[in-house]
Every structure is written in C-alpha cells, then in structure tokens.
Copies of this chain bind each other. A is one copy, B any other.
Amino acid sequence: MMDRTYKDIQQITLAVDCIIFGFNDNRLEVLLVHRGFAPEKDRWSLMGGFVGNHEDLDDAANRVLKDLSGLEDVYMEQVRTFGKAKRDPYERVVSTTYSALILKDKYNKELIEEYRAKWFPIDELPDLIFDHKDMVDSAIRRLQRRVRTFPIVFNLLPDKFTLPQLQKLYEGIFQEEMDKRNFRKKLATMDFLIKLNEKDMSESKKGAFLYRFDEKKYNKTKNFTI
C-alpha cells in the first residue's frame, strides 16, 4: 500500500465465480447456470455473486455455492482473479474464481432447477459469457496439478468407492487413459486407502471391492502422489 490517503480511492465491484466440479457417469463435469436475465440472457455462465462490503472473500464464495447447491463445508480453493477492465462489457467487475469439488448425489436438486443449472462434461462446454471459459480452463489446469499431490479427489466420490471408479475419475481429470496395473500399484503403497469387505455390484457382474479414504491415517504421513 503506498502513500495515498484512503480517501477518494476508486472502488470497484468485486465478485466471486465458482467452478463447481462433479463426477458423473465416469466423467468430470462442471455445473453451469443458465442466465434468465439481461444482459447476456439465455447464455450459460458460472455461478457467481457479488462480495459484500463486510464479507470475507472466501465467505462470499461459500455463500454463492450454498445458494446454488445447498451445500456447506465443501472443499473449495481460490484459483485466480480476473481483473481486465473490459472483461464484463457492461460494468467494471473484478472477479475472483473458486474451484469447488462436490458430490453429485448430495446437492439440492430443487435449488439447481430453480437456477436452471446443468452439468456439462468438461470437454463439452457450451458457449460461456465474458471470460468464464478462461476461468473454467484455469480451474481445470489447477485441479490437474493439485490432484497429483493432494488426496482431494475423494471430495468428488462417495465415502465408499471402487478402484475402477477412482481411476475413471483421474482419467476424467487428466483427460487421458491410465494403466490399471500401474495405477493400482501406486495406490497399494498408500495405507490410508482402506479396502472394505464389501463389493459394489452395480457396475459389473464380478463386482468391485469398495474402499474408504482414511483422512486421519493420511495426515500422519501425508505422502501422496499419482
């Protein structure tokens, strides 16, 4: 902060936009809202909102997410701030993006309908307003980096999940196929992945064993890389 007085400083509308990721049908998807109002009526956008004058930036992002999904205590990270003067052609708005990882079957469907929101696979995004496509892209790139060294993907899965599911999720995030044996070899070294005596029979005749992520055990060593 330099030596100007705090008076007469120009103020700017500050917003947050959420890139909400979900794992559906073995694909990584993003939740988008359909704008029912001008400007840019009937186009798709990220879920966003303005930051209150006495509201923490992080809190604003959580509030916006809760308004749409009904969810609280969601895994969320700030991604970056988009601040081009002309990024919103109607008004000067600077927007900080947050990436959220949610569980598809936990969100509130009525709220989502109310906002006319829809899930889109990340490789089939519709046309988005303003710079929202750049926002999604940077969030995906960040997610791709983060999931290599932090066990955050479990936020996208139910408590019990199978290894084929987990692999499909990583493949959806990286947008590339992985070798099953090498993938499992890495997971086998991680003692915080607990194999249960239960199978999920819904995806195959043989059934796949269910696993659980033990966060406490993970916190002891915190070594994780895919």
What is the distance, in angstroms, from A46's C-beta to the closest C-beta of chain B?
A: 8
Residues of chain B contacted by A46 (CB below 8 angstroms): 1
A29 within 8 A of B: no
Whether A10 touches B81, Cβ cut-off 8 Å, given contacts A1-B17, A2-B47, is no
Residues of chain B contacted by A84 (CB below 8 angstroms): 56-58
Residues of chain B contacted by A57 (CB below 8 angstroms): 81-84, 94
Q: Are A1 and B85 in contact (CB under 8 A)?
A: no
A93 within 8 A of B: yes
Residues of chain B contacted by A82 (CB below 8 angstroms): 57
Whether A12 touches B11, Cβ cut-off 8 Å, given contacts A2-B47, A49-B2, is yes
Which of B2, B15, B93 is in CB contact (< 8 Å) with A64?
A: B2
Which of B6, B15, B17 is in CB contact (< 8 Å) with A90?
A: B6
Residues of chain B contacted by A115 (CB below 8 angstroms): 2
Contacting B at CB under 8 A, from A32-63, are 33, 35-37, 45-58, 60
What is the distance, in angstroms, from A216's C-beta to the closest C-beta of chain B?
A: 25
A25 within 8 A of B: no
Q: Are B15 and A13 in contact (CB under 8 A)?
A: no
Residues of A within 8 A of B (CB): 1-4, 6, 9-15, 17, 33, 35-37, 45-58, 60, 64, 67, 78, 80-85, 88, 90-96, 115, 129
A-B contact pairs, 7 of them (CB 8 A): A1-B45, A1-B48, A1-B49, A4-B50, A10-B13, A10-B53, A12-B51
Given A9-B50, A10-B51, A53-B92, list of 17 further CB < 8 A pairs? A1-B49, A1-B93, A1-B129, A3-B35, A10-B52, A11-B12, A12-B13, A12-B53, A14-B83, A54-B92, A57-B81, A57-B82, A57-B94, A58-B84, A78-B81, A80-B80, A81-B81
